[in-house]
Structure 1
C-alpha cells in the first residue's frame, strides 16, 4: 500500500505524487493520513481523483509516548497498517518518472527500504552512526545530529541499525514497524533529549532507525531514487524536498509531462 500524510496545502502536489506512483507501481491500497487542516472540499477533491482512497484521521494516531505533529502521526499510522501489509511512505512532494523496479521488488519480498539523503550513505551499526552524529554536532546543533550522536544511549542499542536517509520515501515490510517498539524508542529518546524530542526532525530519525533495523532492509540505489538536488538522467523517482521545487522550473516541467502522460494513460 502507498501511504501519505496530507495537509491542506499539499492536496494538489499529493495528487501528482500519488498518481505518478500509482501509474508506475500499481499499489494494492492507497491510504491518506489527514492532517486536521484538510477540509471537506479537500476531501471531495481527493475522493473524486482517487475513488479508492482510504482516509485516516491524524488525530486518531496520536499516542502519549509520541510527539504531536511533525509527521509523527504518519509514523504511528504506519505502525498500525503495516501489520496488514507492506507500506510505501511517499511524501506529497515526490514524483515518479518510471517504473520503480527496486521498490516493487522490495514490496514483493517484504523488505523495508530507505532512500539515501545523499550519495555514499550506508546502513550502519549505531556506534558508527553515533560517531558520524558527533562530527555533525561540531557544525550544527540540529536535533537530528543531536539524536544521532546519542543513539548508543538507547537500551540494547546493539540490536538496531541506522541510516541517514530521508523519510520522504521509505518502505516498511509487513510487521516491520511495531507500535509498542516505536513507543519504547520514543520514550527513551525523550529521556535522553527532554523537550527537544518534540522538535521537527525527530520523526525522520526514528523512521530511519526503525526501517534500517528491519530484517533484510535495503537502501535504494542512488541516484535512481534521490532528492531532487541529486537527480541524474537515470532517476526513476525524485523527492523535491523543501526548496527543490522553487530553485528551478523542473518540478513544474515534470508535472506538465506527468499530466500529459496520465491523460494518455501510458
Structure 2
C-alpha cells in the first residue's frame, strides 16, 4: 500500500511539473512509411505527450497510433487529437491474439507485427524521453533494420545457448528469466538468436517478422512453461526474440539509448526509458521532461524540416543537476 501511495504521489508531482506540455504546439505529422505505436492508460496521458513530442521531432515523418487500454476518457481522446492531429486511437481489446496470450502487452506486439507487413513500426512506451537526435534510429528506419533498446546485460545479439547460460546465473523467480533459461531447448528449425533487451522501445522492420513467427514462438514456449507463459514479461521475451531473428536485427548502442536506473551513465544519453521501478528516483525524469517541454515551446525545435533536428543545449545540459 505504501508503494502504491508513493507511486501515486510521484505521478501527481510529475504531471504538475510537465503541465506546460499542454501549451506546446501540436505535432505536425508528415507522410512516411513508418508508424509509432504506444499502448496508453489515462493516468499516463501527459507523460505520453512528452514522449511522442520529444521523439517525433527527430523522425523523418510517419503516423502515430495509440492503443487505448480501456481507461482513456472522451477528454483524453480529445486531448490526443488536439496535440497529435491525425493520430489513430484504437481499442486494445479489438486485437485478436489467436493462440498467443491475452493481456500483458501481447495485443500491442501482435498489432505491431500486423502493421509491419506494410511499413516500419516503432513500439514506444509512454515513459520514453528523447533528449537529443537519434541518428541510429533514423538509420535503422532508412535501412529497414529491426532494433531494440538494450540493457547492461544485453548489449549484443547472442545465440540461444548463450542467452540460456546467462539466464542460469540470474534469479529464476522472474518470469522473463525462467523463459530465457528455456530458450536453448526450442526446436532446431526455429531462429537461434536472442537479445536481452527492453520492449519499451523497439523497431520492427517492414517484412522483418510476422504474427505467424510470434505464434510459433509463443506456442513452443507455452509447451515448456505452461500457465506461466501467460504472465507479465513473456511479451518482452517474444519481442527480444523476434527482433534478434529479424534480418540484421540489432541492439541500439548503450548507454546512448538506455533504461534509467541508479548508476547508469545517463548524462550522454539521447533516449532514456524510465521503467516503473526507477522512474522517479533522483528526479532525473522530472528534470529531463521539464527541459524537453521548454524546448518544445520553440517552434524551430519541434519540426525537423524547419531546422529543429539538432540538439539544443537546453535539453542536453545537466539532466542530473538542479532545475
TM-score range, shorter chain: over 0.9
Q: Give the alignment of 1:30-69 within 5 angstroms.
A: 30-69=64-103
SS at match of 1:104: helix
Distance in 2 between residues matched to 1:40 and 1:123, nearest whole Å: 43
Cα pair 2:260 2:266 within 8 Å, conserved = no
Alignment of 1:108-119 (within 5 A): 108-118=142-152
2:244 corresponds to 1:212: yes
Corresponding position of 2:132: 98
Deviations 1:191-242 (A, max 9, x none): 1111111110000000000001100111111111001222432210000111
Equivalent residue number for residue 21 of structure 2: none
**Residue 32 (structure 1) shift:** 1.4
Q: How many residues are treated as equivalent by the alignment?
A: 264
**What's the TM-score, normalizing by structure 2?**
0.78
Partner Cα separation in structure 2 for residue 51 and residue 222 of structure 1? 33
Give 3-state SS (helix, strand or coil) of 1:89's partner: strand
Unaligned runs of 5+ in 2: 1-34, 302-323
Match of 1:168 among 171, 175, 200: 200
The residue that corresponds to 2:307 in the other structure is none
Deviation at 1:158, TM superposition (A): 5.6
Q: Secondary structure at the match of 2:37?
A: strand
Shift of 1:157: 5.4
Find out whether 1:86 has 2:120 as its counterpart: yes
When the two structures are superposed, what TM-score results if normalisation uses the length of structure 1?
0.95
Name structure 1 gaps, 5 residues minimum: none
CA positional deviation for 1:103: 0.1
Query: How many angstroms does 1:120 deviate by?
Result: 5.8
Q: Name the residue aligned to 1:228.
A: 260
CA RMSD of aligned residues (A): 1.5
Moved more, 230-239 or 11-20: 230-239
Q: How is 1:80-159 mapped onto 2 (pairs within 5 angstroms)?
A: 80-118=114-152, 121-136=155-170, 139-156=171-188, 159=191
Cross-structure match for 2:221? 189
Specify the structure having the higher radius of gyration (Cα). 2
**Equivalents in 1 of 2:120, 2:88: separation in Å?**
16
